[in-house]
Structure 1
Amino acid sequence: MLQVTQYIQPLPGWSAPHLVLCSDGNHYVIKLLSNPQGIRVLVNELICSQLAKRMNLPIPDGKVIFIPEGVTGCPPAQTGPHFGSLFIPHGILHPSDLDLARCTNISQAADMILFDYWLDNNDRHIWTQDKQNLIIAGGPEPKLWMIDQANVFNGPHWNAETLLNKMNNYKAYWGTLYQRFVPFIDGTHPFRESLAKLHSLTRNDLFHAASNIPVEWGVSEQDVITLVNYMEHRRNAMNSLIQTIIYNFPVWYKHYKYHGGTI
């Protein structure tokens, strides 16, 4: 298991993350078992990281990371498995429209929106100066990254009962961030490729993403089964749900209205 070798510094955020150096030589943003939002934050992050990898979505590589005893500077009593995501250096946290336009993968903004709807991520659409769940890696080929998946499954305090209750509760969140993406992804079928990626996942893929979770994180076998059923059930509704936001996309809406277009 990947281990912390050096503590660097605390970072801002609701989950009180920390920057660390690990045994593979890379820096990670680590969220602790004792984070203020609860252990399910770690579960949500790990599941999303594994799903994103299978779908080729822009989420920093996520790992289970162990903090051994004796690492100077680490918060006390934190030995055990935590979640860490690969640190994106020189990231732009408050990108302008020009920064977004320069991203080599800006078309994946459609993937981001659909992914959030599928897993009921209820806060990425919000865009304020002190809260945004994306980052742009700078350099000659800037890239858009999705960060902070803590609020998937409608928040970090889910259990089997809440998942069952939310399974048929679909909401197409819309806000400033998604609106900023529109000029870059609008077209006759802006979500066609994103939907194809989503539907390419098998039930075994979903089980794999929900099963590789440390026992210390308290996810039961029943939780895993309910999670997989939840993800599979909601995925089947995404073609219809995504069409409810068509009015925010001028080109898509015009094509659909006047040319009989479909998603």
Structure 2
Amino acid sequence: MKNKNTRTTYTRKTKKKSTVFTAKFFGNLILVFFFFVVVSIAYHYRSSFARYLGFKSQYTNENTDVFSEARNLKVLEKNDGKVVGIDVSEYQGEIRWSYVDTIEDKYPLRYVLIRATVGRDRLDRQFKRNWLGAKENKMIRGAYHYYRPNENSLEQAELFIKTVTLKKGDLPPVLDIEKLPKEQSIERLKVGLKRWLKAVEKHYGVRPIIYSGEKYYDDFLKEEFSDYLFWIANYNFYREEIQDDWLFWQFTEKAKVPGIDCKVDVNIYNGDLQQLEYITVE
């Protein structure tokens, strides 16, 4: 007697094999795609990798990120002629300022942006030391405030004003906004940011700069704060040149700088040294 289920069982087995084959095929296709992506990136950064490995070979015991370092070199090469600087806070510990001179043994560090205050009630523990150290090291210096969205904006401005004394040759004050509010709307956040900016501008007589990530800038700040100059953070590997409408570009948070024991942010100013000096406080 014939088994009525034979055809059905055979069909099911065929379908199962076909599904497994399809899954393996697409899995292998994805692996091949990623392989070519990695090879393409490696080829694109080949000169930077070679220079990095040659320059760093004496530091074989260091815990380094080869890809990040190679990308940093590529960005610096592509923006040659623009001014390079760093930004620091208490997270960099005690900086030996007399050693802070170049990055990758080639590109001079001309300026530093230093965190001064956080919210309405906290001073950066290393601000005073960094503020004096940068001046003694003959670097153009600037101070920034880390803005907390859910705290009073005028109290935050008052704390910054009490903490930071700008002198001739210093950069304009900077407002660092990175977080979205939890207890207020975006519109109320923008009102608070404007109050901080106006209070600080009135005190120092110079318009502040705004720092933020590129997405935050595009989504919330670009249109309503178009009268201000921006310092933008973007670490994406495909971004290799500063945008025309950015004043500063923070292109990495993983750079090694002499005199600083941990990784540090590096920035590119959208101009030469003379242009940078032009925007400083008079």
User: Radius of gyration: which is bigger?
Assistant: 2
Name the TM-score class by shorter chain: under 0.3
